[in-house]
Amino acid sequence: MIDLSGRTALVTAAAHGIGRASVLALVEAGAHVIATDIDERSLAELQGERIETARLDVLDRDAIDAASALTARADILFNCAGVVHGGTVLEASDEDLDFAYALNVKAMTRMVRAVLPGMIARREGAIINMASVASSVKGVPNRFVYGVTKAAVIGLTKAVAADHVGQGVRCNAICPGTVDTPSLNARLAAQGDYDTTRAAFVARQPIGRLGRAEEIADLVVYLAGATYTTGQIHNIDGGWSI
Ligand SMILES: NC(=O)c1ccc[n+]([C@@H]2O[C@H](COP(=O)([O-])OP(=O)(O)OC[C@H]3O[C@@H](n4cnc5c(N)ncnc54)[C@H](O)[C@@H]3O)[C@@H](O)[C@H]2O)c1
């Protein structure tokens, strides 16, 4: 049983999907949670005991700097924000690559920089970065930009873990398969034939179904409290990467 009582967790992209489920799971485990997102209306639905909310666009360096009163308090950071680009290398523009790098890698790096001084001063911190099995774990068709940038998340996770393991800070990466979230459903709908595309996504999961955001949130809680684990990638993918 992971007990996060007395800890403060900051979650990015907390208004929907995996981020939202993780806010609720972290609170359930006893943490105080700072839930951040750009969707203030949906964030407002999260307000409750041991939850505070704040608008934070992780693409905005000034906004991250201005949020130092929040980031300085974080004992746990769940770096969840990310974007999926669909297509092969021939269908990816430089702009697609730049945008995905900015959101999936650079913003995550800035958040790590923002929370690290406080964690090092307290000699305790847990950083959990959202990667994907579509990364250095597995080549997935039509996920060129996504795979490149999520592989970079694994690299940044291991680098931070190696640099700060002696200062009480752990840093791990989560690599989900396909998880049933609003962004996934939007991508399925964008293909035109929602039902056929969804069935194809289910068929590629050997376990026979899509993942649930709550299942990923359980792993976030585990890694927040797993005091002997750092620098690792944690596949949670219904057997996709076997
Ligand atoms: N759903 C999947 O199948 C899956 C699989 C593997 C990894 N992931 C990763 O999980 C993470 C969350 O995905 P999800 O499917 O839960 O998404 P989601 O669409 O359900 O939620 C995404 C959230 O991100 C917020 N957001 C977007 N841009 C932002 C910004 N600049 N700053 C702050 N917040 C911003 C949105 O407002 C939204 O609340 C992403 O990094 C994604 O790559 C998802």
> pTM score, two decimals?
0.97
Q: Whose CA is nearest to atom 35 of ligand 1?
A: 13
Pairing of strands 179-180, 211-212: parallel
pLDDT digits (tens, 9 = 90+) for 39-87: 999 999 998 899 999 999 999 999 999 999 999 999 999 999 999 999 9
Query: In the prediction, which pLDDT does 205 show?
Result: 92
Q: Whose CA is nearest to atom 23 of ligand 1?
A: 13
Query: In the prediction, which pLDDT does 66 show?
Result: 98
Q: Which one is catalytic: 101, 146, 222, 228?
A: 146
Inter-residue contact 7 to 224 (CB < 8 Å): yes
pLDDT digits (tens, 9 = 90+) for 176-220: 999 999 999 998 999 889 999 999 999 989 999 999 999 999 999
Ligand 1 centroid, distance to 222 Cα (angstroms): 20
Q: Which residue has the tokens 């609720």?
A: 24
pLDDT digits (tens, 9 = 90+) for 123-145: 999 999 999 999 999 999 999 99
Give the separation between CA 210 and CA 205, rounded to whole angstroms: 7
Element (H, E) at 8: strand 8-11
Tokens of 92: 């990816």
CATH class belonging to 8-178+213-227: alpha beta
Q: Which residue has the tokens 């911190």?
A: 125
Q: Of the residues 16, 43, 234, 241, which should be mutated to test ligand 1's pocket, given the most ligand atoms within 8 Å of the CB?
A: 16
